Chain A
Amino acid sequence: MGVYEISFWFLTVMALSCALGVILSRNPVNSVLFLIATFFAISGHYILLNAQFLAIVNIIVYAGAIMVLFLFVIMLMNLNADTEPQKNRLVQIAGAISGGTLLLVILAALRTSTISSLDQTATDIGLIKNLGKTLFTQFVLPFEISSVLFLSAMIGAVVIGKKEQTV
């Protein structure tokens, strides 16, 4: 086993166990921290794939900004294990059913799909230059549409914020 295999297995185990930690831990703050650790493991995978840009953007955007806001909200709401409200049994059953359905759909989709064989000649698609070229030539329309989506979300947030002020 070379360095790559060892780090791959280490990161895989870390990602999966931390992802389990997210849903299994009682304290929401711990869940958030597990999620951050998961993001780090995924970023490690990106680096193994020679996609440093994606790795670091994953950390900046998800671990550095979005999870900070998550933590922010959780800290403010002070959700502790002992203040957790009693969940309705009906809600629990509904959750189990919908989760199971999702799992079924994913399994069905994965069963029929064929995994394309890995290109052994190390791809440089994750490097920032190639990624930028791909995004702005081949995938320019989806890219722009997603940016419009973000803009509309931002405008929506501003509208909601303003509305509260006038009431």
Chain B
Amino acid sequence: MQLDIAFIIEKVLLISVILLGSLGIAMYATWAERKVAAVMQDRRGPNRAGFMGLLQPLADGLKLFFKEEIIPDRSTRFLFILGPALAMLTAVMTSAVVPWGPDIVTDNGVISLQVADINIGILFIFGVVSLGVYGVMLGGWASNNKFSLLSSIRAASQAISYELAMGLSLVAMLMMTGSLSLREIVEQQHGFWDNGYFTWNFFKQPLGFIIFLTCAFAELNRAPFDLPECESELNMGYHQEYSSMKLGFYLFAEYINLFISSAVIATLFFGGYNFPFMDEVAAGVSPILFAIICVMALLTKVICIILFFMFIRWTLPRFRYDQLMRLGWKSLIPLALVNMVITGAVILWVIK
């Protein structure tokens, strides 16, 4: 096998841009979260550090970096450090298969705006997401603290329960697309209106979307399903013993996860980088400008979904643990199965 230097440089560039971009967006997601919380509660939110508090995430990051690093005496040291590392690793790994934009066709060849177009893209995301719980579990166990342990056990059971419903809701969608590759799924949703119907999967699978979204809330450990870090019961959950940047990595990983999963939802259900009248736009502008417009369209969708996640977090109260399990096992999984059966029947007899 020959190593293509240009190929490697292109991919390294793309990966670093995506990595830095997701770190930056995660940083400003913390700012946006505080602003959203504030305006919903008739407050103003951070507004002292820089214009409209825009330097606040930098200040927070700096604070976390310079705080004292405390590793509990009775903790399992290696796993204690491995926990946040794994959380961060799995958070950024998912971005590899998301197609951020269309191929840029230039005279020298084709530049792909996707790190890896593997034919099992969605399954890759599932694999990485299912590994994401290890960061929480190991961190919670290694802290040698009962609250942390309880929280990590909650996180694990919650993640496993909701992965099932998530997978089943996706199966129905995959039956329609017939492909596991995210690039192909996006290309099938080309434009907005085709053959007298919407092309975006959201309009083809509304029930599947709602199930997927609910499960995404649970997988992200976000309110109303943020039981692993439930303050009133577990006074902080699995990051109770963490301090300094290790705590920062946990919090950061959460926001990167939020960003990436919003990107995945946008890709799967809202047409990814596609937008209405894209063919007319593509005919009018240069390929590079068109690719930039497409990336902007995807980012707009992602930001809207992130804001939706935040609105929900500051609107709904936290579920009780038995309610969470009942919703997962007794409502979402049967609903996803019914959705799957209906989709199968429609494909077999109506669409052919």
Which residues of A line the B interface, CB within 8 A?
2-4, 29, 33, 36, 52-53, 56-57, 59-60, 63-65, 68-69, 71-72, 75-76, 127-128
Contact = CB atoms under 8 A, between A and B. Distances in A.
B152 A64 contact: no
B185 to A, nearest CB: 14
B156 A71 contact: yes
A128 B124 CA distance: 13
A52 B120 contact: yes
Residue picked from B118, B131, B157, most chain A C-beta under 10 Å:
B131
Given A68-B133, A75-B141, A60 B123 contact: yes
B350 interface: no
Contacts of A127: 119
A144 to B, nearest CB: 17
A75 B120 contact: no
Contacts of B152: 75
B348 interface: no
A83 B163 CA distance: 34
A141 B46 CA distance: 63
19 contacts: A2-B1, A4-B1, A29-B76, A29-B79, A29-B141, A33-B138, A52-B119, A52-B120, A56-B123, A59-B127, A63-B130, A64-B126, A65-B130, A68-B156, A68-B160, A71-B137, A71-B141, A72-B137, A128-B120
Interface of B: 1, 3, 76, 79, 118-120, 123-124, 126-127, 129-131, 133-134, 137-138, 141, 149, 152-153, 156-157, 159-160, 163, 180
Nearest to A53: B120
B146 to A, nearest CB: 10
Contacts of B163: 64-65
B118 A52 contact: yes
Contacts of B119: 52, 127-128
Main secondary structure of the interface of B (DSSP, over half): helix
A75 B157 CA distance: 13
A128 B134 CA distance: 27
A164 B102 CA distance: 56
Contacts of B131: 59, 63-64
Contacts of A59: 127, 130-131
B127 A75 contact: no
Contacts of A53: 120, 123
B43 to A, nearest CB: 39
B79 A72 contact: no
A56 B127 CA distance: 6
A52 B153 CA distance: 30
Given A2-B1, A64-B126, A72-B137, 14 more contacts: A3-B1, A36-B134, A52-B119, A56-B120, A60-B127, A60-B130, A65-B160, A68-B137, A68-B156, A69-B160, A71-B137, A71-B141, A75-B153, A127-B119
A90 B300 CA distance: 68
A46 B130 CA distance: 19
Given A64-B127, A64-B130, A75 B1 contact: no
B191 to A, nearest CB: 27
A60 B126 contact: yes
Contact of A72 (B120, B126, B129, B157): B157
Contacts of A76: 153
A72 to B, nearest CB: 5
A65 B129 CA distance: 11
A137 B28 CA distance: 52
A53 B127 CA distance: 11
Q: Sorted from nearest, which 3 A-B pairs have the closest CB atoms?
A: A64-B130, A59-B127, A56-B123
A121 to B, nearest CB: 17
Contacts of B126: 56, 60, 64
Nearest to B180: A128
Contacts of A64: 126-127, 129-131, 133, 163
B237 to A, nearest CB: 15
Nearest to A66: B160
Nearest to A60: B127
Contact of B156 (A52, A57, A72): A72
Query: Residue among A2, A59, A64 with the most chain B CB within 10 A?
Result: A64
A29 B80 CA distance: 13
A2 B160 CA distance: 39
B60 to A, nearest CB: 31
Nearest to B129: A64
Contacts of A57: 123
